[in-house]
A and B are shown apart, each in its own frame.
Chain A
Amino acid sequence: MNSAKQDPHRVAVVAAGIVSPLGFGLTETLQSLRQARDCVTPVTVFPVDKTRCKTAGQIDDEQLLTKAQRCRRARRLHRASHMVITALAELLEDAPGFPPEIVIVGTTSGGMSFGENFYRTLGNGNGCSAALIANYPPQKQIVDAMEKFGMNVPAEVIANACASGTNAIGHAFNAIRAGRYQRILAGGYDALSELVFVGFDSLQAATPEKCRPFDSNRSGMVLGEGAALFALEELESARSRGAEILGEIIGYGISTDNHHLTQPNPDGSGPRRAMEQALAQAKLTPDQVGYINAHGTATILNDSAEGKAIMELFGDVPVSSTKSMMGHSLGAAGAIEAAVTLLALQYQFLPPNINFRESDLSLNVVANEAHEAQFNCAVSNSFGFGGTNATIVFRKFAR
């Protein structure tokens, strides 16, 4: 049986699709990253008059619905479904007819705002639309997107809090690497919802100020939303059909930090184990990594634990948290940041950590502006509630 005892298969990224506050598609995302755009704006999708935090990274609904090609049925779908549809449309433009054997995606809240609306209609005595119920569950959004494009394969939906997207991509990578599958569609999605927004506000994890990851005066996160999907394929399979290869995934690490439901162990041991595992699987030493896209939520606790782990393991490898530009999109964050990391490798630049002034951590932060750089390998981190930690390692594909 033991496929793991065979030489592991190499895993290529052959197409990607993304929508986030940074823009629609990889091209707009690349422009925003290079221009260090601050895409965090006042929240408009629900009232924020009683919360401390009043901003988030948001996707424009008008543009989103246009991109999702309006029709009667489409109007009943959740915003998150439209985000997934938008990302999948871009991916399929580059890889028409990509036939995954399974879909593995991450999310934290699926169509949560439909659940909120359902609760509110219950309380005010009005009838409720069955569409709210049917389109709320977290697996529904990826199933909607598959139906839209005539794709129908099993959908494994991972809900590992803020690490969900990275866990989905990492697990998909491992499954191809072990020879279990040849082609997987992987990624993550999440849309802003009042419940989650107020939740982070109640924990005082969200900031009323600018999001300043790794800054001495960081005061918390801002939330975001979006979706990113990747067509992953066993490398020889992709080569044999002449597919364009955007990059390789070469390592994945996952660990669970049992310190606390919402707080990381301050010693950084959980993140460090995930990063060490990923490097070991990639057969890399830390000095071979040229860029780290950090989880970097800008909360006091996350950034100090993650910063400590990065400093101890990587020394002065350039680090940035692109959440500073677009907010924290929870289950989508790992997937969106994987796309950012892939773009950084492809176009050889270091994405910026904006709103940065000074740090009490001895990290080599890519402060406020993007920089050109030459590197072959990059790391993307995601950590979440429940003590879940995940790291993936990308390598530039050498033709």
Chain B
Amino acid sequence: MSLSIAGMSWVTPLGSDVDDVWQRLLAGETAPVEILENEENGARYLVRRVPANTPFPAHSRLRRASAISRFAAAAGLAALAEVKLPPSLDRIALVFAVSNGGVVYTRRFYSEIVKSGAQSASPLLFPETVFNAPASHLAAILGINGASYTVVGDGAVGILALKLAEDLLASDDLDFCLVVSAEEIDPLVCEAYRQWRFLRNPSKPTGHGMIMSEGAGAVLLERPDESIPSAAAHASAARIEQIVPGRNFFRRSEAAAELGAVVARLENGIGFGVGSANGTFIGRAERAAVGNKLPLYSPKIALGESVGASVLWQLIAAAQALKTGTLPGGLELPANSPALVLACGLNQQTGGLTLRLRQRE
């Protein structure tokens, strides 16, 4: 079933304004890279962080919350602000995608247990370690009191969250679904990916491997019911035509085949793709899945690997490419062709979707 994108927003290491960040990506900019050091073992990592001067909403629920909740709140509120008619709060659901979650507080909480003993564990930190804490804060800020789901997975989790949203919107009970994804950087997560041999070596900043990043993405999906006045205000908003969560690859060598199976289930005539290449095996797998001719762009090369947040970044980038008719690198895109968003995680999950430009309503 097709879903209109009534609003969209992101918080990225390159900024938080959708059009501005897109123009900077088109101009070939990449987000600044900095070094993050791990106090536990002295390891150093290349990271792309959300700028410290990024404005975040002020709300009592965010006072003690971790960065991930602030990123999510900023993106979610901005996506909602794009609609002309504010959705009725009892007809909107929240779906949240995350991979590592509130890892900053999780590490701090467990660190206290290990270093000082269980009796020192903080009752203030523990609730923020739960995967659905950011979704809970956002629901409270927005006043959503109906369905709220947090979906966890790897870098492809955003596709599964969008599929869940699509299934929710099959019901007459809802008109909108706000899909939000977010992630925050922590040395513990960086170390895990380093030991898994996926990270770029800080001494070889132009080499292979990925650079971790953080931020959030949000899209407000609207059920395409003729009887509902459209809330969409976004001049060139896109419409998701088809969402295909993929099968799992049990070995890396199977990733290309599973991605190919996803592409085969999506509509024909795709004009370009926005993939999830991040400097690891994923780029090769995606290229093998779509063939050599399809233009394929990955925002992760400029913005970094934000894992749980990344699919919505890809979706927003694809919508912007449809709107502007071009991809970073100066490639002009064929008119009226659907875009492919292809997602491959590092831990076995795959998926894809297609989207098209929607006519102004």
Contact = CB atoms under 8 A, between A and B. Distances in A.
A201 B224 contact: no
A107 B137 CA distance: 20
B260 to A, nearest CB: 14
Interface in B209-228: 224-225
B113 A171 contact: no
Given A123-B115, A137-B347, A158-B164, 18 more contacts: A50-B118, A128-B195, A133-B193, A152-B250, A155-B248, A157-B153, A171-B164, A174-B168, A202-B118, A202-B121, A204-B123, A255-B145, A256-B148, A385-B127, A385-B132, A386-B132, A386-B135, A386-B136
Contacts of A147: 248, 250
A1 B1 contact: yes
Nearest to A390: B147
A395 interface: no
A71 interface: no
Interface string B241-274: 0000111101000000000000000000000000
Contacts of B196: 130, 133-134
Interface stretch (A62-70, A192-200, A309-317): A192-200
A116 B110 contact: yes
A333 interface: no
Contacts of B115: 123
B154 interface: yes
A284 to B, nearest CB: 18
Given A155-B248, A256-B139, A387-B136, A2 B146 contact: no
Contacts, number: 212
Contacts of B154: 137, 139
Nearest to B139: A256
Contacts of B131: 108, 138, 159, 161
Interface residues of B, number: 77
B113 A174 contact: no
Given A1-B224, A137-B154, A180-B167, A156 B245 contact: yes
A387 B94 CA distance: 13
A356 to B, nearest CB: 28
A140 B348 contact: yes
Interface residues of A, number: 71
Interface in A76-133: 102, 107-108, 110, 116, 118-120, 122-123, 125, 128, 130, 133
Given A122-B40, A195-B110, A203 B167 contact: no
B117 A50 contact: yes
Interface of A: 1-5, 48, 50-51, 102, 107-108, 110, 116, 118-120, 122-123, 125, 128, 130, 133-134, 136-140, 143, 146-147, 152-161, 167, 171, 174-175, 178-180, 194-195, 198-204, 254-258, 261-262, 270, 273, 384-388
B247 A195 contact: no
Contacts of A125: 41
A203 B123 contact: yes
B91 interface: no
Interface of B: 1-2, 38, 40-41, 61, 94, 98-99, 101, 106-107, 109-111, 113-115, 117-119, 121-123, 126-133, 135-137, 139-140, 143-154, 157, 160, 163-164, 167-168, 170-173, 188, 191-193, 195-197, 224-225, 245-248, 250, 347-349, 351
Contact of A195 (B109, B136, B224, B245): B109
Contacts of B224: 1
Which of B119, B126, B225, B247 has the largest count of A CB atoms less than 10 A from its CB? Answer: B126
B165 to A, nearest CB: 11
B136 A139 contact: no
A386 B133 contact: yes
A147 B127 CA distance: 33
Nearest to A130: B196
A138 B188 CA distance: 17
A140 B121 CA distance: 28
